Structure 1
Amino acid sequence: MIAYIRGKIAEITDQAVFIEANGVGYEVICPNPFRFQSKLGLIEKIYTYHHVREDAQVLFGFEKIDEKTLFAKILNVSGVGPKGALAVLAQTSVNDFVAAIEQENEKFLTTFPGVGKKTARQMILDLKGKLPFTYSMEEVSEVTNSKTTNMALDEALEALKALGYSDREVMLIKPKLQELEIQETDHYVKKGLALMMK
């Protein structure tokens, strides 16, 4: 099992970070690869979850050990695969997710792609009281779909700045991006780049 990789952030795509360690390049699928944009070319440590299937071996990567731990716990939920677990971590914090599970907040859980009421109830059933985290109500953000969307938008705006666009350019397209019904950071980035080209 590969617990983590320390190496140079060599490349970033909308789904993965390529990290070079000892002459080997690893493709690591991340919830929000653009979080590493400011670290491009630097030596960084990425916590990894080595997912092995019959037809593939995939490395999933995280900035913090808590995110990796939560990812592994969500994978244990019946009916939730790596794609679903990754979508959860792309759009919320560990604290907010744990709070939603412990408070049985189905409405919040169903804001994630692919999570309906049945899956949300299964998450609560399988995870409540079993997550190795404490949570702070003071740190819980407003658990609404719009808040989740804004979090993704904020990360996308930061990614656009990291790609070389000025604050002024980014602020000019922000109102147009806010009108879109998008929940994923990389989709915001793609739309933002398209607007910049006009």
Structure 2
Amino acid sequence: MIAYINGLLTSIEEESIIVEVQGIGYEIFCANPFYFEPSMNKELKVHTYHHVREDAQILFGFAKKEDKYLFSKLLNVSGIGPKGALAILAGVSVADFVGAIEREDDKYLTKFPGVGKKTARQMILDLKGKLVDWIPDEENEATIFYTEARADQSLVAEALEALEALGYSDKELQVIKPELHKVEADKVDDYVRHGLQLLLKA
């Protein structure tokens, strides 16, 4: 596998860049090719994902390791191919994407091209809790959100147990669970109160 390429950036196209290494030009497909424009006709390093299939071998390129890592994880999600993964990376930072996964924000995720509600839920199911630890900066937005989200999830879980004790079915509670995760509260009682409001509206 080709992990990265060091070479001369000789061309920027709509979907790809060309990096020349010892007389060989490598076409590398990118989410935002023009991101590399300041390096035109200069030496640069591009982190690459070597995608092999029966009829082609394709290089996908990234400026940062975390972008490559997220791309590789997205490919493991049912319903997302290389083009879909690139489209996601073109429209979001890794930290923002991880934040959306951790708070189960399927509305945010469905804004990306080709991502419907089913695919968004699959991304959450496959990726939640698996991305944050890899991001090295402990103070980045995603890590901070992850810590807060874990605390919120504990309060929501307790609130759902309380609502179940009041006689509400698991099916009813699963419907309001995503909405409860969007609520910012410090006490279980606040989540229970909001949950009752949602259940009465259902």
Q: TM-score, normalised by structure 1?
A: 0.68
SS in structure 2 of the partner of residue 52 of structure 1? strand
1:164-187 CA distance string (max 9 Å, x none): xxxxxxxxxxxxxxxxxxxxxxxx
Partner of 2:38: 38
Amino-acid identity (%): 59
Q: TM-score, normalised by structure 2?
A: 0.67
- Which stretches of structure 1, 4 residues or more, deviate above 6 A after TM superposition? none
Q: Indicate yes or no: 2:114 matched with 1:136.
A: no
Partner of 1:101: 101
Counterpart-to-counterpart distance in 2, 1:51 and 1:120: 23
Q: Which amino acid aligns with 2:141?
A: S
Q: Which amino acid aligns with 1:99?
A: G
Partner of 2:28: 28
Q: Which amino acid aligns with 2:113?
A: P
Q: Tell me if the contact between 1:95 and 1:139 (Cα under 8 Å) persists in the aligned partners.
A: no
> What number of residue pairs does the alignment pair up?
140
Partner of 1:193: none
Partner of 2:192: none
Unaligned 5+ runs, structure 1: 141-198
1:119-151 CA distance string (max 9 Å, x none): 0000000000111336516998xxxxxxxxxxx
Counterpart-to-counterpart distance in 2, 1:137 and 1:75: 21
1:39-66 CA distance string (max 9 Å, x none): 1000000000000001110000000011
Counterpart-to-counterpart distance in 2, 1:8 and 1:139: 38
Counterpart-to-counterpart distance in 2, 1:2 and 1:129: 28
1:81 deviates by 0.4
Counterpart-to-counterpart distance in 1, 2:93 and 2:22: 32
Q: How does 1:1-198 map to 2 (within 5 A)?
A: 1-131=1-131, 132-133=134-135, 135-136=140-141
Q: Which has the larger radius of gyration?
A: 2
Partner of 2:183: none
Structure 1 residues 50, 138: CA separation in 2 closer, same or farther (over 3 Å shift)? Answer: closer
Q: Tell me if the contact between 2:48 and 2:60 (Cα under 8 Å) persists in the aligned partners.
A: yes
Partner of 2:161: none
1:84 deviates by 0.5
Counterpart-to-counterpart distance in 1, 2:61 and 2:73: 15
1:110 deviates by 0.3
- Which one is further off, 3-12 or 127-136? 127-136
Partner of 2:155: none
1:23 deviates by 1.1
| Superposed CA RMSD | 1.6
Q: Tell me if the contact between 2:98 and 2:142 (Cα under 8 Å) persists in the aligned partners.
A: no
SS in structure 2 of the partner of residue 130 of structure 1? coil
Counterpart-to-counterpart distance in 1, 2:144 and 2:113: 24
SS in structure 2 of the partner of residue 126 of structure 1? helix
Counterpart-to-counterpart distance in 1, 2:78 and 2:143: 31
Structure 1 residues 22, 114: CA separation in 2 closer, same or farther (over 3 Å shift)? Answer: same
Unaligned 5+ runs, structure 2: 146-202
1:8-63 CA distance string (max 9 Å, x none): 00000010000001111000000000001111000000000000001110000000
